[in-house]
Amino acid sequence: MAPHCDTMDGPVISACKKALKTGHVYYVLPFVPKKAEDELTQAFNKTIKARKLGHDAAEVADIWFFETAVRLHREGEGASYTGLKPAGLDWGPVVPRAEKDIEKGDPTETIEFLKSIVEEEVRKKFDKAMSTKNYDLSDTDAAREYTEAMLHFVLSSHHLYKYIISSGEH
């Protein structure tokens, strides 16, 4: 998955910065599971106090708060925390489109992009399966090549479908 929630310009840290600027932890709480609210709130309150001790203390406290928020967010996803990533990483072609569509209130650009990618990739897998389908029965290597291509087409289609209809966990 493209980096996003653990980057310095991702949505978790953007929410952290807004929370620190306004003094309201509520901007960040939606990014962590309910069971992590107390830990995040305590980290926020300590960060607010530490920020009053000078520039260096504020800088250290802010980074610690960002790390805590991202760690708790990742734990909520069932993923391990691997540290903060720098801003400006390539998030791929979908994330910027999807975020822009959220801002516009219209998903059309993301939908059209995904439809074209899904069609292109499914056709490639299908074409590979079809190009290997008519093999000599005594050629086990060719039979394996077809079987692998056919299963790749069928199973990747199935997994894509299951992911799309999933409950929305990311």
Instruction: Work out the average pLDDT over 91-101.
Output: 92
Q: What does the pLDDT read at residue 5?
A: 87
Residue pLDDT, tens place only, 32-91: 999 999 999 999 999 999 999 999 999 999 999 999 999 999 999 898 999 999 998 888
Ordered by start, the domain boundaries in the chain are 11-77, 94-164
Per-chain mean pLDDT for the chain: 94
Alpha helices in the chain (DSSP H): 11-22, 37-51, 55-77, 94-104, 108-131, 140-164
Cα separation, 114 vs 109, in Å, equals 9
Residue pLDDT, tens place only, 20-30: 999 999 999 99
Q: What is the pTM of this model?
A: 0.75
Q: What does the pLDDT read at residue 1?
A: 42
Percent of the chain with pLDDT over 70: 96
Cα separation, 68 vs 29, in Å, equals 12
160, 120 contact by CB (below 8 A): no
Of 134, 157, 156, give the one whose Cα is nearest residue 145.
Answer: 134
